[in-house]
Amino acid sequence: MLHWFINDQRTLRSGWKVSGFFLLLTALVVVAALGLNKLGKPQVIGPWLGATLGALASLLCVRLEGRSFSGLGFRPGWRWAFECLAGVVSGILVILATALVVRGMDGFHWERTPGIGVRQLLSAVWPLLGVAFSEEIFARGYPFQRLVEGAGPWVGQLVLAGLFALIHWGNPGMHGATKAWATLNIGLAAILLGFCYLRTQSLALPIGLHLGWNWAQGSLLGFGVSGTTNFKGAWTPVFHGRPDWLTGGAFGLEASLPCALLCGTAILGLWRWKGSKLPTEASSAPASG
């Protein structure tokens, strides 16, 4: 029975490590929520608090393994900054290309939003960066990397893509055909972000792409972001009554067919790219599941 828990290298199997991470993260979230309640603040785990709790859970898990936190893909420096910036630009280009395809098929036209300038556009970056850090630590950080080590990249990709899509099911607008298209595209986006990590062994590129995607979709182009509309965009799309599978409707471009096609193309490109991996420590070597 011991082999259910211990692999051939005499370490805990990856599945149990991932389960332990989620249990620890859940406990930290509960403690934080209770603490906020006692302070008289809303029991809301904001993006940067969520990122902090995810990072703390990850740090505790890697310390128990005798590994370093930087091995999860946090190696600050010029290269990390460059990859993050490249991710931001890539995310903007992917979502802009999706919008232009939809517009070219007479899905909508844009109107300039009054009162939205550079200050408003920049003010949206900070909370969206928190979202990118929080979700990438959760979905491309410790759990993803341990599943990749233990069961291979495609198991890690598919499991975390499914989980990433599932946690968005509570978002506004998740029903009917929109739910089907949004689930598909969010899963594809997760695989795309997973390849960003696998090809660089760094979280810089996926964090940057995540930020650029959300910022361009909502703050710049005015679409919903996974069903949320927290920011007014510099431009407001005016829909022409075309079906939601083409435009994404109120949920955002993430629920459209063109988004699936663009994501699929980007995934194919990253799949063929051999990558540019940073040197990794011995503790990052694959282990049996």
pLDDT at 229 over 80: no
| pLDDT at residue 170, rounded to an integer | 87
Mean pLDDT, range 98-108, rounded to an integer: 96
Using 50, 70 and 90 to split pLDDT, how confident is the model at 47? Answer: confident
Using 50, 70 and 90 to split pLDDT, how confident is the model at 228? Answer: confident
Mean pLDDT, range 146-155, rounded to an integer: 93
pLDDT mean across residues, the chain: 88
Using 50, 70 and 90 to split pLDDT, how confident is the model at 34? Answer: confident
In terms of Cα–Cα distance, which of 78, 73, 51, 46 is closest to 62? 73
Using 50, 70 and 90 to split pLDDT, how confident is the model at 41? Answer: low
Mean pLDDT, range 41-69, rounded to an integer: 87
pLDDT at 188 over 60: yes
Strand partners, 237: 110
Using 50, 70 and 90 to split pLDDT, how confident is the model at 287? Answer: very low
Mean pLDDT, range 142-161, rounded to an integer: 94
User: What burial letters (b/e) apply to 225-264, b meaning 16+ CB within 10 Å?
Assistant: bbbebebbbbbbbeeeeeebbbbbbebbbbbbbbbbebbe
CB 120 within 8 Å of CB 232: yes
Distance between CA atoms of 81 and 205, rounded to whole angstroms? 9
This prediction has a pTM of 0.90
Which of 10-24, 65-79, 128-142, 267-281 is least confident? 267-281
pLDDT at 276 over 70: no
| pLDDT at residue 7, rounded to an integer | 62
